[in-house]
Chains A and B, each alone.
Chain A
Amino acid sequence: MENRRTLILALLVLFFAVNAFAYSNLGPHQKINEIAIEKFIDKIMPEDPYLKNASLDGVMSKGLAWDVSDGRTGIYPLEYSQEIAIDRMKFLKDWVIDAGFSADEPETPMALRHFYDPTGTTHYLTDYPKIWGFPHPEDPKMSAVDWVFTSTENEYSFLNGKKYFTHALADSEPGNINYGRAWRSVGETMHLISDMTVPAHVRNDGHIPGLDPDIYETSVTSSTIEGYMDGPIANLNYKCADPKGTDLKTLMEGVAKWTNANFFSKDTVPQPDSDVTANKKEKYPSPEITGEPNNNGYYYWKIDNYRNYDDPDASVSDKMKLATTQVTGIFFKKTIYKIDKKVTDQNREMLIPTAIRASESVLDAFLPRFAVKIDSVTVDPKDPAKKIVEAHIEQIPTKEWPGDLAIGNGAHIVVGNTDNMMMLADNLDNKLNQNRIKYSVTAKEGDKISVYYDLGGYKIGAAEQKQVDFESMILTSEDAPPGLKLESDGPFEVEHSTGRQYLTLYNSQMNHIINKNGYPQYIVPGFDCVATNTIEVTVFYQPRITDGMDSLLGMKKSVTRTPIGATGIDGAGFDAIYGQSEDNGFFTGYQAIYEKNGWIINIAITAASDTQRKEAYKTFAARCRQSMNKDDAKVFEDMTVTNIDMVKHLAKRIAGKIP
């Protein structure tokens, strides 16, 4: 007799090895995780101020995997979970999706830990299949919520996932093994929270596919998940990132309570005149079968957010099929309630979307929020072909991550199309972490510089790019000297390849007089109105070349340069000023070179000489007076701006824009 009992026990252990789970881990759980990620990316990330510049498609990371291709490990004890681990490199999404499978491995111990009854004082599974009649030998007395949030045995709990991620961030190795562990923890937590939408798992209804299968979960495939992914969801607070919002544990318990209170599992359908259900447990207070069935033989139950589009009866437009009756009740002349295919089909309309939405919240809660900012881009004084990029990553507090995460890897500086992965050892700012970075990178004018962090596939980019060029320094209409205007209001194009901007200034007053009545009134013989009216300006924006100043300036040996002194543009902050003027009595080519913060600004103008312009203005003023136009005459008489004044003015404007 003892032997017989032992044999039965051994057989049951073997039988129980056969995937005793909620949604099958061979398809549905992976599909839920996959869809949850995609929905998270499509809907939640763009709306989140700190995720809209992030993505989940960064680098692969190491980790320990046990995938579908590795096979099921039903009969192994919990301790074996550390053995079923293969070193792999995967993308973040793959880690999360595949964890939909691994959460159920090894199967026997996991099956006992994926139940949570929110109503009782004992939340773990106590209902073992009736063909057993006694608890499983292991009987861990562990609920799914405890397994996820408090258990020290669960290698991939949410709790451990956060520890792994903390270690992964602090490590100097990009894509290190703790990233994979963290993402697997996220995926396995998704699996567990999805299980809370399986009625049997929140109504203490033990079952064993292959021996005593649950009809709801057994009939859910990955295709079913896809087919029902967009339905209404339980009325719960899913926002788990807000420091003042709900936390993930509360959400998981909330999902379980909602499922428990609104759906039957096969063996927890209450029967008339009985306080116990088919599994010999006390019946749950909710949902209740009340009144008479509808004409189609089904009882209905109202669930918030649900709209019934299947049943034409308007009286059930906000209700879901809850139960029907067994035809075999005719043999006893009594009613026997059951759930059937039509009931479970409608149940899926909310249970599956809720599983997906709650899984999205796992990611939402797990991902710390960061903001990446480029602080400055300056020329490397040691190497003119390089730029010093300074940036930092700032952690934004969330419910799960209040702050102070140290980041030792993942910093990238992108120059043009070249992505530079920056190693901690090269950080010029400090060697402890990459929370604040300072690196020298090769960059030329016109190259756009951006910074992002790839934290094991979780990429966070800076909202803005900086450009290693004169884009931010170029002159615009607002920069014209008094009395002069730029030829247009922009936009002003620059030649990035040469660092050159061409502009034309003109005397608008003179232009006005010339065209006042539709014909030139004050044409003065002997003066070229175009020449005296316009000033061609060329501005060169060039990075400083420490040892090559003279060659850059070029004209040092060939022309006489006149130092015009820093006082000429007080407050502009230029380091050195050189000026060169060549006056042939009619035209002036004037050039001034300024230096500040590693930039050389070379302003050259071609215009009438000061003498010529002064003479022209005087003549124009006289003609105005002859025409009794005193106002215009006064304007010309007041025009005393010189070429060097104009250059100084432009230089000062540029100086204020130099980063």
Chain B
Amino acid sequence: MYKMDAKLTVILAALIFLFAGCIGSQKQEVNKQSDNNGGVNGTTTKAVLDPVPGEESIAASKKLVANASSAFISGDKGALMPYLSEGMKETLADADLSTPEAAALGKALSEAVLTEKYTDLMVYEFEYKGSKQYFYTIKEGEEWKIEGL
């Protein structure tokens, strides 16, 4: 326990150092500097709008859906839980996945199509019991999780 706390303290110190370093260096760079580029012909330099997710994010999201699909099919709730958002975890905490419905849902999820891609959110469409359904993968920290299923 002591070792763990000491380790955390070191990490914390490193983070605080990093955090402070960021502010310090940024301050020097941006403090009320005049900007020649920004004033060219009176127009500011516009950054690229609407950031898009990278290929890695898209692949990670798709892999998540595939894994969740497998977990549903196998009825393995323990395997499924890490793929769910915090909200979905609460919703499915008491769910019994060892049912034919869960397997059918898993099968339908395996056919889900990624329709919209954003940096923190992907929209999937699939067909279940004859109607179109939609769910999301959202980014919780560095990991993608299923939401709204």
Interface residue SS majority, chain B = mixed
Q: Which of A345-373 contact B (CB under 8 A)?
A: none
Q: Is the CB of A213 within 8 A of B8?
A: no
Q: Which of B134-149 contact A (CB under 8 A)?
A: 134-136, 138-141, 147-149
The CA-CA distance from A13 to B43 in the complex, in Å, is 35
8 Å CB contact of B139 from A65, A66, A83, A213: A213
Q: Chain A's nearest CB lies how many Å from the CB of B8?
A: 5
Given the complex, which residues of A lie within 8 Å of B118, measured CB to CB? 218-219, 221
Given the complex, which residues of B lie within 8 Å of A222, measured CB to CB? 49-50
Q: Chain B's nearest CB lies how many Å from the CB of A441?
A: 26
Whether A628 sits at the interface, judged by CB under 8 Å, is no
Whether B33 sits at the interface, judged by CB under 8 Å, is yes
Given the complex, which residues of B lie within 8 Å of A392, measured CB to CB? none
Q: Is the CB of B38 within 8 A of A88?
A: yes
Q: Is the CB of B23 within 8 A of A76?
A: yes
A10 and B19 in contact, given A67-B45, A86-B38 (Cβ under 8 angstroms): yes
Q: Is the CB of A3 within 8 A of B116?
A: no
The CA-CA distance from A89 to B40 in the complex, in Å, is 9
Q: Is the CB of B116 within 8 A of A88?
A: no
Given the complex, which residues of A lie within 8 Å of B15, measured CB to CB? 7, 10-11, 14
Given the complex, which residues of A lie within 8 Å of B4, measured CB to CB? 4
Given the complex, which residues of A lie within 8 Å of B9, measured CB to CB? 3
Given the complex, which residues of B lie within 8 Å of A1, measured CB to CB? 5
Closest to B133 in A: A327
Q: Is the CB of A88 within 8 A of B44?
A: yes
Q: Which of A184-222 contact B (CB under 8 A)?
A: 209-213, 215, 218-219, 221-222
Question: What are the interface flags for A78-101 relative to B under an 8 Å C-beta threshold, 1 for contact and 0 otherwise?
Answer: 001001111111110010001000
Given the complex, which residues of A lie within 8 Å of B95, measured CB to CB? 328, 331-332
Closest to B9 in A: A3
Given the complex, which residues of A lie within 8 Å of B140, measured CB to CB? 131, 210-212
The CA-CA distance from A326 to B134 in the complex, in Å, is 9
A89 and B39 in contact, given A27-B49, A67-B45 (Cβ under 8 angstroms): yes
Question: What are the interface flags for B1-34 relative to A under an 8 Å C-beta threshold, 1 for contact and 0 otherwise?
Answer: 0001100110110011001001100110011111
Q: Is the CB of A330 within 8 A of B139?
A: no
Q: Is the CB of A218 within 8 A of B38?
A: no
Q: Which of B39-82 contact A (CB under 8 A)?
A: 39, 42-47, 49-51
Whether A338 sits at the interface, judged by CB under 8 Å, is yes
Q: Is the CB of A84 within 8 A of B97?
A: no
Given the complex, which residues of B lie within 8 Å of A130, measured CB to CB? 86-87
Given the complex, which residues of A lie within 8 Å of B115, measured CB to CB? 341
Q: Chain B's nearest CB lies how many Å from the CB of A298?
A: 10
Closest to B39 in A: A89
The CA-CA distance from A209 to B86 in the complex, in Å, is 14
Q: Is the CB of B8 within 8 A of A7?
A: yes
Q: Is the CB of B94 within 8 A of A83?
A: no
Q: Is the CB of A331 within 8 A of B97?
A: yes
Q: Is the CB of A215 within 8 A of B138?
A: yes
Q: Is the CB of A213 within 8 A of B138?
A: yes
Given the complex, which residues of B lie within 8 Å of A315, measured CB to CB? none
Question: What are the interface flags for A1-29 relative to B under an 8 Å C-beta threshold, 1 for contact and 0 otherwise?
Answer: 10110110011011100000000101100
8 Å CB contact of A15 from B32, B134, B141: B141
Q: Is the CB of A83 within 8 A of B35?
A: no
Q: Is the CB of A3 within 8 A of B42?
A: no
A215 and B136 in contact, given A4-B5, A7-B12 (Cβ under 8 angstroms): yes
Interface residues on B, range: 35 or more
Q: Is the CB of A69 within 8 A of B46?
A: yes
Given the complex, which residues of B lie within 8 Å of A65, measured CB to CB? 35, 38, 44
Q: Is the CB of A327 within 8 A of B34?
A: no
Whether A531 sits at the interface, judged by CB under 8 Å, is no
Given the complex, which residues of B lie within 8 Å of A80, measured CB to CB? 23, 27
Q: Chain A's nearest CB lies how many Å from the CB of B76?
A: 14
Interface residue SS majority, chain A = mixed
8 Å CB contact of A87 from B32, B128, B133, B147: B32
Q: Chain B's nearest CB lies how many Å from the CB of A104?
A: 14
Q: Chain B's nearest CB lies how many Å from the CB of A5?
A: 10
Q: Chain B's nearest CB lies how many Å from the CB of A62?
A: 9
Question: What are the interface flags for A98-133 relative to B under an 8 Å C-beta threshold, 1 for contact and 0 otherwise?
Answer: 100000000000000000000000000000001100
Q: Is the CB of B42 within 8 A of A212?
A: no
The CA-CA distance from A341 to B102 in the complex, in Å, is 23
A31 and B92 in contact, given A6-B12, A266-B148 (Cβ under 8 angstroms): no
A3 and B12 in contact, given A15-B141, A85-B32 (Cβ under 8 angstroms): yes
The CA-CA distance from A83 to B26 in the complex, in Å, is 10
Q: Is the CB of B116 within 8 A of A90?
A: no
Q: Is the CB of A341 within 8 A of B116?
A: yes
Q: Is the CB of B44 within 8 A of A90?
A: yes
Q: Is the CB of B149 within 8 A of A327?
A: yes
Most chain B beta carbons < 10 A, residue from A67, A219, A222, A328:
A328
Given the complex, which residues of B lie within 8 Å of A3, measured CB to CB? 5, 8-9, 12
Closest to A6 in B: B12
Given the complex, which residues of B lie within 8 Å of A73, measured CB to CB? 26
Q: Chain B's nearest CB lies how many Å from the CB of A558?
A: 60
Closest to B42 in A: A60
The CA-CA distance from A341 to B86 in the complex, in Å, is 20
Given the complex, which residues of B lie within 8 Å of A209, measured CB to CB? 119-120, 139
The CA-CA distance from A637 to B147 in the complex, in Å, is 107
Q: Is the CB of A297 within 8 A of B92?
A: no
A90 and B43 in contact, given A14-B19, A15-B141 (Cβ under 8 angstroms): yes
A215 and B147 in contact, given A267-B87, A328-B92, A340-B134 (Cβ under 8 angstroms): yes
Q: Chain A's nearest CB lies how many Å from the CB of B123?
A: 5
Given the complex, which residues of A lie within 8 Å of B5, measured CB to CB? 1, 3-4
A210 and B148 in contact, given A86-B34, A331-B99, A341-B116 (Cβ under 8 angstroms): no
Q: Is the CB of A210 within 8 A of B141?
A: yes
Q: Is the CB of B42 within 8 A of A87?
A: no
Q: Which of B80-105 contact A (CB under 8 A)?
A: 85-88, 90-92, 94-97, 99, 101-102, 105
Listed A/B pairs (17) with beta-carbon separation below 8 Å: A4-B5, A10-B15, A24-B50, A65-B35, A65-B38, A67-B47, A68-B47, A69-B46, A85-B30, A89-B42, A212-B86, A212-B138, A219-B121, A266-B87, A328-B149, A340-B148, A341-B136
> 4 closest A-B pairs (Cβ-Cβ)?
A68-B47, A27-B49, A331-B95, A60-B42
Sample of 12 more A-B contacts, CB < 8 Å, known A87-B32, A211-B140? A30-B49, A65-B35, A75-B19, A86-B38, A90-B38, A94-B43, A98-B44, A221-B49, A221-B118, A266-B148, A328-B91, A332-B95
